[in-house]
Chain A
Amino acid sequence: MLDERLEVENLHLWRGERHVLRGVRFALGGGGCLEVTGPNGSGKTSLLRTLCGLMYPEEGQVLWKGENVRRDLPAFHAALAYLGHEPPLKADLSARENLRFWIGIRRRVAAADLDAALERVGGGGWCDRLVRTLSAGQRRRVALAGLALLVVPLWILDEPTTNLDTEGQQLVESLIAEQLARGGLVIAAVHHGLPATVRDVRRLELPP
């Protein structure tokens, strides 16, 4: 029952005249990591958004714990964290306020946990500044802090290392490693491949 497992069966997605996903299939169990690669326009983002249930595939289905996610989307979403291209942050709120609202809508979070998460991503010095004054890399780090705070079994990440320096990329690695060690699942679209330190990575290459 508690076995978190994501299965994807024969996904076909069209966008206008383009056949974006052509029969994508895979299965991923607890502790598994899947990296989705492919050139620009190969449908990485579309695949991730389809997995989340935002886009409706023409054919095929996504199963979570053996059940079609469409049957109970709210329950599936409660088990899911999705990070898109851009960190979902408000420019006119501080990093801390952003996290308080974004995460708070989903779960209760103690101030101490919030501080710890911000500290962890190196935001101790700037977490009370408005997000509009932060660099792209710092914003990405705020998003990572949010990811860590959500504590959900399934992570779906779109280019999580964009704009990050070496230290930031190591942070992504350790976050992913912890999530996998907890028995969580990680699906990440990446351009250059995840760093080698993340072991047991399976790869899904989307054709152009």
Chain B
Amino acid sequence: MTWTWFHRLASPPYVYGLAARLTPWFAWPAALLIVAGLWGGLVLAPPDYQQGDGFRIIYVHAPSAWMSLMVYTTMAVAAAVGLIWRIKVAHAVAASCAPIGASFTFAALVTGALWGEPMWGTYWEWDPRLTSELVLLFLYLGYMGLRAGIDDTQRADRASALLAVVGVVNVPIIHYSVTWWNSLHQAPSVMRLGKPTISAAMLLPLLMMLLGFTLYFVAVLLVRLRSEVLARERTASWIREAVSA
């Protein structure tokens, strides 16, 4: 009995319908939270005592960076589930994650650079976090490249899932090695800022943005998931209803 929800979640028609029904429940709260977070972050929050108004980049940079990691983790977990139990829906989730994650990793890199110029005096700093983020972008690109290179969906699913799992094992090692490397080559000229003291008026919009982006991710994922599920399904019985609607 405990496994019925699991089996239902593995059934494409059920997931297709469920995804369609759930999307607005994530999309609208996400929109509200993001708008409120923007208002709070851009207007209500006071300027940082060190970084002035420049710190406001955090309200887009931190959520993007959070997305890049969270989406990769989601992708790897879904990929592992698909690989182990041969569940098509799980592969569909993993495949849906990649373009979202890649685009937000890109956003995190660009916003990080735009933040770096006024704060460090350079757009690009070989800082462990930015470097890891760059590697993460390559991991996403590799995943998408591998998928694109294999014609057969089933084989593409399994090969890319294996890559995602190998990648997720490596991410901590890469991050550790980059941090280790960075500690050897501390550039003295760059101005290092202490952690800004964050007041509630600063923190609350940030939390709203983080939650808003997460809900937004789920909403976009659900839309993508429907298209990926459709692409993997060949038995016509339920598709006829799905596409005629």
Answer whether A and B touch in the complex at a CB cut-off of 8 Å: yes
Q: Beyond the given A16-B151, A16-B153, please list 7 additional residue pairs across the A-B interface where CB-CB is below 8 A.
A: A14-B154, A14-B234, A15-B152, A16-B152, A17-B234, A19-B234, A56-B86
Size category of the A interface is: under 10
B152 CB contacts on chain A under 8 angstroms: 15-16
Report the interface size class on chain B: under 10
Secondary structure call for the B interface:
loop
- Residue positions of B touching A, CB distance < 8 A: 86, 151-154, 234
Expressed in whole angstroms, the Cα–Cα distance for A19 and B233 within the complex equals 12
Residues on the A chain within 8 Å of B154, using CB: 14
CB distance from A114 to the nearest CB of B (A): 37
A-to-B contact residues, CB < 8 Å? 14-17, 19, 56
Closest to A14 in B: B234
- Which B residue's beta carbon lies closest to that of A56? B86
Q: How far is the CA of A16 from the CA of B86 in the complex (A)?
A: 16
A19 partner residues in chain B, CB cutoff 8 A: 234
Closest Cβ of chain A to B118, distance in Å, is 52
A19: nearest chain-B partner, CB-CB:
B234
A16, chain B: closest CB distance, angstroms: 6
Given the complex of chains A and B, what is the CA–CA distance between A15 and B152 in angstroms? 7
Q: Which of A15, A16, A17 has the most CB of B within 10 A?
A: A16
Smallest Cβ-Cβ distance to A17: which chain B residue = B234
- Across the A-B interface, the 9 shortest Cβ-Cβ residue pairs: A16-B152, A14-B234, A17-B234, A15-B152, A16-B153, A56-B86, A19-B234, A16-B151, A14-B154
What are some 9 contacts across the A-B interface (CB < 8 A)? A14-B154, A14-B234, A15-B152, A16-B151, A16-B152, A16-B153, A17-B234, A19-B234, A56-B86
Residues in A with CB closer than 8 Å to B86 are 56
On chain B, the residues within 8 Å of A14 by CB distance are: 154, 234
